[in-house]
């Protein structure tokens, strides 16, 4: 029970602002339009795309996944009160929460893949030879910093999911212990318990898949100092 409380506290103590954090805007000087007689460089063109509709859609999708996880955390608090003495119903509700959270993880994964592709494309764009080297370097460094901040946000999400998932596992373990005193037969062999176990296993697999996907799709170096 202590581990459950700690896991729930960790999840719910995260400021709401953190659930919608997006990569910070690049320095304004780097986004200012060039002189009318100078063409837009490839990096500038892709970064402009990142700054407009596509990036907004990605940020919104990730934000919805985070918000869904927080709503599920609130549901868990209620479920723990309602079914504290009903192991079967507790297991059934935990299975449902795990399934819903798995859906949120998959939604986040789709948005994260699009994000990784954008940053990778931008960094692989052929530099404009007519642009001074120092300007090209500054543009690249700004873009790399954006990618790192996006990666930090992604790993924060994974940490929150893993914390919540551990809370669900702890609660299922508590239900299993209570079932030895209140449920006839072997609770571990019941469909409710098996469904909960499977749901938690599937959630872990989806989370691990998201972790690996982001490390593959985001530009090299984005995750150098990160660990989820």
Q: What is the DSSP letter of 84?
A: T
Say which range, 67-71, 102-106, 167-171, 220-224, has the weakest mean pLDDT: 220-224
- d(CA 131, CA 86) in angstroms, rounded, equals 69
Of 17-31, 122-136, 211-225, highest mean pLDDT: 122-136
Mean pLDDT of all residues in the chain? 81
Question: pLDDT by residue (tens digit) across 59-94?
Answer: 999 999 999 999 999 999 999 999 999 999 999 999
**Between these two residues, 6 and 84, which has the higher pLDDT value?**
84
pLDDT band at residue 181 under the 50/70/90 scheme? confident
- d(CA 157, CA 228) in angstroms, rounded, equals 9
Question: pLDDT by residue (tens digit) across 101-137?
Answer: 999 999 999 999 999 888 888 888 777 778 888 988 8
Q: Which of 161, 151, 43 is nearest to 106 (CA)?
A: 161
Question: pLDDT by residue (tens digit) across 32-45?
Answer: 444 444 566 666 67
Percent of the chain with pLDDT over 70: 75
Q: What is the pLDDT of residue 7?
A: 44
Q: What is the pLDDT of residue 223?
A: 58
Stretch 162-170: mean pLDDT: 97
pLDDT at 53 over 90: no
At which residue do the structure tokens 């953190």 appear? 18
What Å distances lie between residue 26 and 44, 93, 183, CA to CA?
A: 11, 44, 59
- d(CA 28, CA 45) in angstroms, rounded, equals 15
CB atoms closer than 10 angstroms to residue 78 = 10
pLDDT at 227 over 80: no
Q: What is the pLDDT of residue 46?
A: 67
């Amino acid at each position: 029970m202590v581990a459950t409380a700690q896991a729930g506290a960790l999840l719910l103590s995260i400021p709401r602002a953190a659930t919608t954090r997006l990569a910070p805007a690049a320095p304004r000087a780097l986004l200012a339009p060039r002189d009318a007689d100078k063409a837009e460089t490839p990096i500038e063109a892709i970064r402009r795309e990142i700054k407009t509709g596509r990036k907004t859609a990605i940020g919104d999708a990730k934000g919805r996944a985070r918000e869904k996880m927080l709503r599920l955390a609130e549901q868990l608090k209620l479920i723990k009160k309602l079914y504290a003495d009903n192991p079967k119903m507790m297991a059934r509700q935990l299975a449902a929460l795990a399934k819903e959270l798995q859906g949120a993880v998959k939604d986040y994964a789709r948005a994260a893949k699009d994000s990784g592709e954008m940053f990778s494309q931008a960094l692989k764009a052929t530099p404009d030879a007519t642009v001074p080297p120092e300007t090209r370097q500054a543009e690249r460094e700004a873009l790399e910093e954006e990618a790192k901040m996006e990666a930090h946000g992604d790993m924060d999400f994974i940490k929150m999911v893993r914390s919540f998932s551990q809370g669900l596992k702890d609660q299922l373990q508590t239900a299993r212990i209570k079932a030895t005193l209140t449920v006839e037969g072997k609770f571990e062999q019941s469909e409710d318990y098996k469904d909960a176990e499977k749901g938690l296993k599937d959630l872990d697999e989806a989370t691990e898949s998201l972790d690996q996907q982001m490390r593959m799709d985001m530009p090299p170096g984005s995750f150098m100092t990160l660990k989820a």
